[in-house]
Amino acid sequence: MPVVLIAAISVTATACQSSSGKDSAGSDARDVPSAAPAAADYNPTPYDKIKDGGTYTTVGTFDDQGNPFNVNATLTASRVWAWYNADAITYSPTGKVQYNPDYYSDVKVSVEGGNQKVTLTINPKAVFNDGTPIDWTAIKATWKANNGSDKAYAASSTDGYDHITSVEKGTNAKQAVITFKGVNASWSSLFTTFLHPKAATVDNFDKAYVKKAHPEWGAGPYTIGTWDTHSGNITFVRNPKWWGKRGKLDRRVYVNLESTAAVNAFKNGQLDYVSAVDAESLKQVKGLKGTEIRSGGSPFEYSLYFNTKSPVLADNDVRRAVQESIDRTQIAKIRFQGLDYKEPLPGSAVLYSFQKGYEDNVSAVLKYAPDDAKKALDAAGWKPGGDGIRVKNGKKLEVGYTLLGDDPLDKATAGAFAAMLKPVGISLVIKKADEADFSNILSERKFDLFLSGNRSMDPFGARYLCDFYCSDRASNITGAGSPALDKEIRATTKIADLDQQAAAVNKVERKALQEYALLPLFSGPSTYGVKQGLANVGATIFYNPLPETVGWEK
């Protein structure tokens, strides 16, 4: 689960209020830092300093697709999954690999004849909730479902899994021996969690978790208490079958609320944690009695996606003209208005400016140039009409923009796009949709332009170029690309050295960006209002704290 999609309104970038009153993005370009901040802020607290008991409540609900390995799963699915399934490998905030001994009691990596071998020894006590031992067959089943050999599986990403040549039983059933073709430095991202063998059949992989949970196929310190399909609320309780450290909380609760209602629910004491989605919501939670603001670096990136299968955006010239007409600096100014936060404009879909190997690939292929956009549209036969909107073959140059929910910041962003495109002769038609339609809009490509984000679940972003740009990938929601480009992209996944791989990825991404189907816009920090005393929760970058370590300080 390398990268997961999120709606624009889910975790919008915010930061602490500016004391000067100036809005940061409008400042001189020379003031912009060369890299985004990479600090974490989550009240790290040792297990023995957390009290037993209590409830932790946030906004959230189950997703249409609850299997995080499935192409239609989003960040919500990954977060809910982690509360009742294995969290076998996690990462530190900066991306250092951490093995969870409750699942993998020993991990050995070796290279023989140029091919990597990973031996996972599974904790003898590890068992799924239905009594099935967690053993090598779960690792094999996860590999089979995700390696791309059977196209009936709608897998989110086959990268890495497709370089495994075998998963075999080791000295006993509690040992899995994974053999790769070549070397895979980021193999850990493939088995951070795993599927119950029953969940890994084609039918169950694609359909069993659609608006349903399967706690019997899960494992971990918590299991499902209530899963209310009517309200969308979920409660997790301690799992009596858990063999590891006891979960500190009595209950973990997700309440299904629209994002705009979340801040009021937090102020009323109904929630323990809320994403401060803009300057206004931050103002409302800042200074509340018993509340802390936790803000840090962000493994999120928000991009504008172009549906290349829609009639109006099938033309590369039109897509390029749209991108050249968008002033990304102005969009950042809108998103960060009233916030003491600065970042460089993002230059890649896969690496962040605070990571080693990052290069600004967007600036290498695109500049803000509305006059060039006009010339390109003239040359492509789109002539200005009487009302200023261009026309070709009797058809107006109208592009749809799908706006989710009623968030004021998202409305302002949509309005800014419309205002930028109008002088070039492009009419932006804003189409409203419910937040609940997010998965459906993406999976069925029901959009022309769509603003959405991604959260990187591990630090190996260069490995996932194909997810964004390969023409034969369902995860490439733009539908852009070509078999020739796919080949170049896939060649980068075979490079074992991470530095060399990043250099190759930057080169290929510059070609992919010339499809003009994806435009990185902003990242921003992660900022949250959190009740005082809540431990191991907040801005964690690449770190996902184990569920049993989340709770309230003694």
111, 259: one domain: no
Q: What does DSSP say about strands 551-552 and 449-456: parallel, antiparallel, or unpaired?
A: unpaired
| Stretch (H or E) spanning 383 | strand 383-384
Say whether both 79 and 93 belong to one domain: no
Same-domain status, 72 and 137: no
Q: What angle do CA 458, 549, 176 make, to 5 degrees?
A: 55
Q: How far is CA 347 from the centre of its chain?
A: 17
Question: What is the number of structural domains in the chain?
Answer: 2
- 220 and 148 in a common domain: no
64 in the same domain as 199 = no
Distances (CA, A) of 271 to 255, 268, 333: 8, 8, 30
Boundary residue ending a domain (156, 185, 205): 205
Q: Is residue 471 part of a domain?
A: no
Residue 283 lies in a domain: yes
Give the residue among 422, 397, 432 at the shortest CA–CA distance from 310: 397
Residue 479 lies in a domain: no
Residue 82 sits in the same domain as residue 214? yes
Token pair, residue 130, equals: 């239905």
Give the C-alpha separation, 305 to 424, whole Å. Answer: 20
Distance of CA 226 to the CA centre of its chain: 26
Q: Of 448, 442, 370, whose CA–CA distance to 414 is shortest?
A: 448
Measured between its terminal Cα atoms, the distance across the chain in Å is 34
Residue 135 included in any domain = yes
* Tens place of pLDDT per residue across the chain (554 aa): 456 656 544 332 222 222 222 222 333 344 678 887 778 999 999 999 999 999 999 999 988 899 999 999 888 899 999 999 999 999 999 888 999 999 999 999 999 999 999 999 999 999 999 999 999 999 999 999 999 999 999 999 898 999 999 999 999 999 999 999 998 989 999 999 999 999 999 999 999 999 999 999 999 999 999 999 999 999 999 999 999 999 999 999 999 998 779 999 999 999 999 998 678 889 999 989 999 999 988 888 999 999 999 999 999 999 999 999 999 999 999 998 877 788 899 999 999 998 889 999 999 999 999 999 999 999 999 999 999 999 999 999 999 999 988 888 899 999 999 999 999 999 999 999 887 788 788 888 889 999 998 888 888 888 889 989 999 988 899 999 999 999 999 999 888 788 899 999 999 999 999 999 999 999 987 899 999 999 999 999 999 999 999 999 99
Written as six digits, the tokens of 218 are: 């899960």
CATH of residue 222? 3.40.190.10
Phi, psi (deg, nearest 5) at residue 487: -65, -45
Residue where a domain terminates, one of 162, 184, 205: 205
- 64 and 98 fall within a common domain: no
470, part of any domain: no
Domain end point (choices 205, 234, 268): 205
Asked whether the beta carbons of 251 and 492 are under 8 A apart, the reply is no
Distance CA 201, CA 66 (A): 15
Residue 323 lies in a domain: no
Q: What is the domain range of residue 151?
A: 89-205
CB half-sphere exposure, 413, CA atoms < 13 A: 31
- What tokens does 506 get? 């930057």
Contacts of 179 (CB under 8 A, 6+ apart): 115, 116, 117, 164, 165, 166, 167, 168
Residue 61 lies in a domain: yes
One domain, residues 81 and 215:
yes
Q: Is 135 helix (H, G, I), strand (E, B) or coil?
A: coil
Which single residue is written with the structure tokens 């850990």?
Answer: 188
Residue 403 covered by a domain: no
Q: Going edge to edge, which strands form the sheet with 526-531?
A: 273-275, 526-531, 291-296
166 and 108 within one domain: yes
Q: Are residues 120 and 201 in the same domain?
A: yes
Q: Is the separation of the CB atoms in 520 and 362 below 8 Å?
A: yes
- Residues 154 and 252 placed together within one structural domain of the fold: no
CA distance 295 to 281: 14
Numbers of helices and strands, H then E, in the chain = 14, 24
Task: Let me know whether 129 and 183 are in one domain.
Answer: yes
CATH number at residue 185: 3.90.76.10
